[in-house]
A = this chain, B = another copy of it.
């Protein structure tokens, strides 16, 4: 676990909006890094807030903004993407010149547009879009872990006019959680995650449905378990992700269909050497990526 980043020392109170797996894990990690300020949770469901408090993710949970935002220096949106627009509108009245905001949303273009559309400009400039690329197919604060973000990557999608102090605090937050930072524009981010997360998720869902409807599950083994693991993810969260990134996902599906057609042609040609060359190339690319990941963390 990394040490508390200096930019977080004077933040005062942190409000985590949505205390599920991600929000809960942020609270646990901040506490483990000896963050001295108060950590509060905001949410609709008292039961989730109570669970998060009992697990030590937050000091206190609120279903109303007033007491949660009182003295708050940093707001972290960790609610489902579909709730963001309403949350931003509800947050606007609680702005003050030192308030800094960030989020953990899995898509960024729509979020960043909503921020500038729904918040006063000065407040929008203190919102630093983030996507900490960590998680698992489980959800809820009962699965929160202080090391969930350790050694993972966080994409920062700052805008040209993003407040530099706000950015330093938000970067300090993710560094405190042990993350590597990468800068991207919201559009770049959304195209990249469409390729390495949203398309793989869609394919996993369709693979499960194909086997469930046409047969084969009785002999499915560890390969199927791993290639489809993400299909056990939270349907609500993923419906939001697909809905908020539909243009990029549709585009990447079109590209992928072309790849699948080419693969089918290769099969039709029955050319084992060409097939082996493609499989070798993919293996080399994947093994190189595994080494890159391992180097990042050593």
Identify the A interface with B (CB < 8 A): 82, 133-136, 152-153, 155, 182, 184, 189, 191-193, 195-197, 199-212, 214-233, 235-236, 238-240, 242-243, 246, 249-250, 252-257, 259-260, 263-264, 267-268, 270, 272-273, 275-283, 285-287, 289-290, 292-293
Contacts and interface: CB of A to CB of B under 8 A. Distances in A.
Contact of A229 (B199, B226, B273, B279): B226
A194 B33 CA distance: 49
Contacts of A208: 282, 285-286, 289
A279 B235 contact: yes
A157 to B, nearest CB: 12
Given A195-B214, A264-B253, A272-B240, A232 B286 contact: yes
A268 B217 CA distance: 30
Contacts of A155: 219
A203 B193 contact: no
A188 B247 CA distance: 39
B259 A253 contact: no
Contact of A221 (B134, B217, B256, B290): B134
A239 B82 contact: no
B210 A197 contact: no
A230 B236 CA distance: 28
Given A195-B216, A196-B219, A217-B292, A230 B227 contact: yes
B219 A192 contact: yes
B196 A216 contact: yes
Contacts of A235: 276-277, 279-280, 283
A278 B153 CA distance: 29
Given A196-B219, A206-B263, A257-B260, A285 B133 contact: no
Given A152-B221, A227-B227, A232 B278 contact: no
Nearest to A255: B210
B216 A283 contact: no
A224 to B, nearest CB: 5
A164 B252 CA distance: 52
Nearest to A209: B282
B205 A278 contact: yes
B195 A286 contact: no
A135 B289 CA distance: 22
Contacts of A240: 272
A214 B227 CA distance: 21
Most chain-B CB neighbours within 10 Å: which of A204, A227, A270? A227
A84 to B, nearest CB: 13
A254 B233 CA distance: 27
A259 to B, nearest CB: 5
Most chain-B CB neighbours within 10 Å: which of A184, A193, A210, A231? A210
